[in-house]
Structure 1
Amino acid sequence: MTRRLLIKVTAGADEPERCNQAFTVASTAVATGAQVSLWLTGEAAWFAVPGRAEEFELPLAAPLADLLAAVLAGGTVTLCTQCAARRDIGEADVLEGVRIAGAPSFVEEALADDVQALVY
């Protein structure tokens, strides 16, 4: 059984290095064959909306849109329910493949066997 990696990213364009690190780790883990679950919370919630990842810039970093696409292709991406509501982001507003879920789902994932959780 492959170990699972749960990553919660709370930083967005307001903290670009921390944000990019979370997406880089998530996409790298997907590339290695790990089961990855990336949670978008706080300001990272905006990256669930089409076009937002393309606007993100950080010198010498892989494009955030590419990193997000890799995670969407090989893992799961979840937008925090409350974070979405505070930003008026609904189901119809998010990228294909992004689900909206709340704390009970996060806790269930985090407490499962063979899960490593990281928070950025």
Structure 2
Amino acid sequence: MAKRLVIKVTAGADAPERCSQAFTVAALAVASGVGVSLWLTGESAWFALPGRAAEFELPHAAPLPDLLESVLAAGTVTLCSQCAARREITQADVIDGVRIAGAQIFVSEALADDVQALVY
């Protein structure tokens, strides 16, 4: 089993099941003691902003704010720098604990020896 899991979520409210799956896997991995790096890209970029996760609804799914909070507490949450720029989101706008970083950091995390990478 991988010691770290890098998860890139590209979906948001536009594909709620895929989005929820990514956050659920990230939160479950954190709860299981696995190191997690969750990357918010594409439409999931909006969840880096305060209050946006609370607007997400999917029947029979764990609340997105709870999942995000658990990942923030024990993992890393990163907002894609290009996705942030396209949406005019700055570091000052995001939830405490969310960093903004680019593809170079994602690639270095995803290619580390002890990492399994997933894309949703």
Give the shorter-chain TM-score range: over 0.9
| 1:3-49 deviation line (CA, Å, top 9, x unaligned) | 10000000000000000000000000000000000000000000000
Matches of 1:4 and 1:119 in 2, distance apart?
Answer: 14
How many residue pairs match? The answer is 119
Q: Which runs of 4+ in 1 moved over 4 A?
A: none
| 1:41-89 deviation line (CA, Å, top 9, x unaligned) | 0000000000000000000000000000000001000000000000010
Matches of 1:4 and 1:62 in 2, distance apart?
Answer: 23
TM-score, with structure 2 as normaliser: 0.98
Give the fraction of aligned pairs with identical amino acids, expressed as a percent. 77
Coordinate RMSD, CA, aligned = 0.7
Match of 2:53 in 1: 53
**Residue type of the alignment partner of 1:9:** V
Q: CA deviation at 1:114?
A: 1.0
Task: Name the SS for the 1:88 alignment partner.
Answer: coil
Match of 2:80 in 1: 80
Structure 2 gaps of 5+ residues are: none
Structure 1 gaps of 5+ residues are: none
Matches of 1:75 and 1:102 in 2, distance apart?
Answer: 18
**Residue type of the alignment partner of 2:29:** A
Task: Name the SS for the 1:99 alignment partner.
Answer: strand
Matches of 1:39 and 1:80 in 2, distance apart?
Answer: 7
TM-score, with structure 1 as normaliser: 0.98
